[in-house]
Structure 1
């Protein structure tokens, strides 16, 4: 079962090709996107998530073409950026409710366990402007992982989080990778090994 397919992707900036002719397809599992800074890891993830429009090639998520059927494709994926996308005035609870409302969901069965596992329960009523960068990142991770989307895309998910949160992230990926695809960029080789992830390396 193919959950994510990319065919002949290409990106050019200022006349220089970041990558071209990039093709792959993945079913359930854990895939670590690795490479030097500037190799295009974050750019590739934003293309796959539909955040950045495709310049060349085709992407399908859960069998839905991202360009031809964007709503259906985006319903099949969850996107966790490296930086917080919450408004500074929002509380943690408000942000989570907004995310699930945008996904058309009133509840997420996995949410309670993720809140406990990432240790963010004491911060649910705190505004994002008052949170540490690590706590913000944990809320981003919980918002994506708690969805039922079969494809989860994460940009540098271990950046700024503590060892306990990292251990819970690894456990979540290992437990869910039999039925879901977790594709994440990282420089953290220890996490890659602990997740049992396959490496997709982008050359500089």
Structure 2
């Protein structure tokens, strides 16, 4: 599956990806490439959506095939490839004792960047200003998820991978996320797993289907 953008080097390219768990084959010679835009990763439960995102961000190693981010081989040049991407998990990865502000500062430090200073618009847009000093173990699930979104989106990385980004968030936050994707998809790739048809429709996302013949 390939986008129609003319750029010589895709932002994200997968070739011959293979992954199996025991007798279950999730991916067999899965190949696709994308440049800027929005892409929804869809498929039934158990078709490997979360596994594919884990592979694309380098959390799990592929059994066969190559993944290139911004032209950099994720296996051979992981630091260069990962510098081109950001990841938003479905569930919180913050320690319970951390405040929202501390989590964002930690994410920024791990990237070796200074993106946290530019996160103010995201914090306001997701309605997080009142929660910046709150500990994660005192936050609602939706508030935790919105901090995960800010942590991923504040980097301005060319490739942003999101696992079920609208799970648990309120309507206003969802609307802000949709607007952001629409505004920035001309220069960034947003690839997200989702069951949310409104998110797909309002962002104009293309579809990458798993669990179909040939995948």
Note whether the superposition's TM-score is higher than 0.5.
yes
Which residue of 98, 101, 119 corresponds with 2:106? Answer: 98
Q: What is the TM-score when the length of structure 1 is the normalising length?
A: 0.98
Query: What's 1:57 paired with?
Result: 65
Q: Which runs of 4+ in 1 moved over 6 A?
A: none
Question: Retained in 2: the 8 A contact 1:115–1:121?
Answer: yes
Name the CA distance, whole Å, in 2 between partners of 1:58 and 1:159.
Answer: 30
How many residues were matched structurally?
204
Q: What is the TM-score when the length of structure 2 is the normalising length?
A: 0.93
Kindly provide the CA deviation profile for residues 151-195 of structure 1, in whole angstroms up to 9, marking residues without a partner as x: 000000000000000000001100110000000000001110000
Name the CA distance, whole Å, in 2 between partners of 1:148 and 1:177.
Answer: 11
1:124 aligns with 2:132: yes
Which residue of 153, 159, 172 corresponds with 1:164? Answer: 172
Name the CA distance, whole Å, in 2 between partners of 1:81 and 1:20.
Answer: 25
1:67 aligns with 2:75: yes
> What does 1:1-204 correspond to in 2, within 5 Å?
1=7, 2-108=10-116, 110-203=118-211
Name the CA distance, whole Å, in 1 between partners of 2:77 and 2:36.
Answer: 22
Q: CA deviation at 1:108?
A: 4.1
Q: CA deviation at 1:109?
A: 5.7
Question: Gapped runs of 5+ residues in structure 1?
Answer: none
The 1:178/1:109 distance shift into structure 2, 3 A limit, reads: farther
Name the CA distance, whole Å, in 2 between partners of 1:73 and 1:81.
Answer: 18
Name the CA distance, whole Å, in 2 between partners of 1:42 and 1:198.
Answer: 18
Q: CA deviation at 1:124?
A: 0.3
Computed over aligned residues only, the root mean square deviation of the Cα atoms, in angstroms, reads 1.0
Q: CA deviation at 1:106?
A: 2.4
Question: Gapped runs of 5+ residues in structure 2?
Answer: 1-6
Question: Retained in 1: the 8 A contact 2:105–2:116?
Answer: no
